[in-house]
């Protein structure tokens, strides 16, 4: 299902009368935000955002997949009329990328979920609110209409129905079902950095906070004073457990029996756009189409679930071929405008970026996220010019060359 074509707000950028803060002016790429966030965030919080599963094979593979492709640009093409505006589910967005859902973002930045959603709306791109966020979904869409909601399916049909109805009543038009978490992943790297679920107060955690006074005062204590202990607000139709509660693990269990029948049930109930996130196999793309999904997001959860899972970029061509014209998007490993364009060339209609925008929120709040969006947008624009294209839909596979490693 699609909504009426609408125009988003005009993207904002730093101007001569509103220059970037000095700390943000030093951020020249998305990777720069990661280095800055490492210094600002307590080690357990940064470790949670940066961490992946087991041996990080999928995390590394996501980046390597982009390096396996080189551009074959065209020259002497008039590219003075280039635009990266993209239509998606009846809406026009300013760029072919958006902000992926990220859990507990409000521990990285004060009101982090609202910060991400507001910046995305101001810059004319979509943001997806995570089901494991710490701010009620009603508050987020009130601040940033047009935000998408990503849900992890609860363990029984009644809870599923109630959560879907809650999102509909709140005004969400796009529902994203993440389906690659039948069980919790082995994120031993999080444990090594001191992060646990539930979050356990400890001397180590206290020391990490004390040595990051800007985070301690500006994010954690400010949250406690204004809103109390953070809870998982959007896992169910009712408020979930606080982040320090032992019941958190119980709340996220009982997903191993979920099936395509649950998707069909949601499709009958949900009147808006329905997207399935976490697809890597072509047969699952075909099943998503058969069960009424409007689109899919090819994703391996940023390497945070099944370690060794194929990178979404490598999975794209096969998934697109099986999707039968259904909208195919992707996330995981995107760090440059060149990555966005490579994904589009291999069949994606849109791309989502996660960790870098979380880091940007930690470093500079809404202004930081807006700056990060602007950096990625500028890279897409420059690369389009140098590739010889005027519109992102001209980004085809013929402009890519597959690089094969040389034999040693």
Annotated binding site for glyoxylate: 48, 152, 187, 301, 304
Say which of 262, 281, 291, 301 is annotated catalytic.
Answer: 301
- Dihedral sign for Cα atoms in the order 339, 344, 347, 351: positive
- Rounded to the nearest 10 degrees, how much is the dihedral formed by the CA atoms of 72, 74, 79, 84? -30
Token pair listed for 338: 């060149």
For this structure, is 291 an active site residue?
no
373: left (phi over 0), alpha (psi -120 to 50) or beta: alpha
The burial class, CB within 10 Å (0-12 / 13-18 / 19+), for 182 is exposed
Task: Compute how many other C-beta atoms are within 10 angstroms of the C-beta atom of residue 130.
Answer: 26
How far apart (Å, rounded) are the C-alpha atoms in residues 285 and 327?
10
Q: Which residues define the annotated binding site for FMN?
A: 101-103, 130, 150, 178, 277, 299, 331-335, 354-355
Strands (E), 64-221: 69-71, 86-88, 91-93, 97-99, 128-129, 148-152, 174-178
Annotated binding site: 48, 101-103, 130, 150, 152, 178, 187, 277, 299, 301, 304, 331-335, 354-355
Place of tokens 């005062």: 217
What single-letter DSSP state applies at residue 238? S
Instruction: Please tell me the distance from the alpha carbon of residue 329 to that of residue 318, in angstroms, as a whole number.
Output: 13
- Note whether 260 and 294 are within 8 A (CB): no
- Residue 308, number of CB atoms within 10 A of its CB: 12
- CA 207 – CA 217 distance, rounded (Å): 14
Q: Could you give the residue numbers annotated as active site?
A: 301
């Amino acid at each position: 299902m699609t909504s009426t074509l609408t125009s988003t707000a005009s993207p904002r950028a730093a101007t001569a009368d509103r220059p970037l803060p000095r700390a943000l002016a030093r951020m020249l790429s998305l990777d720069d935000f990661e280095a800055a966030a490492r210094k600002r965030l307590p080690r357990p919080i940064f470790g949670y955002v940066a961490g992946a599963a087991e041996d990080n094979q999928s995390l590394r593979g996501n980046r390597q997949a982009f390096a396996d492709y080189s551009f074959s640009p065209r020259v002497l093409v008039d590219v003075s009329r280039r635009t990266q505006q993209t239509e998606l589910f009846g809406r026009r967005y300013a760029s072919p990328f958006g902000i992926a859902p990220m859990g507990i973002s409000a521990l990285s930045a004060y009101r982090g979920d609202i910060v991400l959603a507001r910046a995305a709306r101001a810059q004319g791109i979509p943001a997806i609110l995570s089901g494991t966020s710490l701010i009620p979904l009603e508050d987020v869409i009130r601040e940033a209409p047009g935000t998408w909601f990503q849900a992890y399916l609860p363990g029984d049909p009644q809870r599923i129905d109630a959560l879907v109805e809650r999102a509909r009543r709140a005004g969400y038009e796009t529902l994203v079902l993440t389906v690659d978490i039948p069980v919790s992943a082995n994120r031993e790297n999080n444990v090594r950095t001191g992060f646990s679920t539930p979050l356990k107060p400890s001397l180590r955690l206290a020391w990490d906070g004390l040595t990051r006074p800007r985070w301690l005062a500006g994010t954690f204590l400010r949250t406690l004073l204004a809103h109390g202990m953070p809870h998982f607000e959007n896992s169910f139709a009712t408020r979930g457990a606080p982040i320090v509660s032992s019941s958190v693990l119980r709340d996220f269990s009982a997903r191993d029996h979920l099936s395509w029948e649950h998707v069909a049930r949601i499709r009958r109930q949900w009147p808006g756009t329905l997207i399935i996130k976490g697809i890597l196999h072509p047969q699952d793309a075909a099943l998503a189409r058969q069960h009424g999904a409007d689109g899919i997001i090819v994703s391996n959860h940023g390497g945070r679930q099944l370690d060794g899972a194929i990178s979404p970029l490598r999975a794209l061509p096969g998934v697109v071929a099986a999707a039968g014209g259904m909208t195919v998007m992707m996330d995981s490993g995107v760090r440059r405008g060149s990555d966005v364009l490579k994904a589009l060339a291999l069949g994606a209609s849109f791309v989502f970026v996660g960790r870098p925008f979380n880091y940007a929120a930690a470093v500079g709040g809404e202004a930081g996220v807006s700056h990060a969006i602007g950096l990625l947008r500028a890279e897409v624009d420059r690369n389009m010019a140098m590739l010889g294209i005027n519109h992102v839909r001209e980004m085809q596979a013929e402009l890519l060359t597959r690089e094969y490693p040389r034999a040693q």
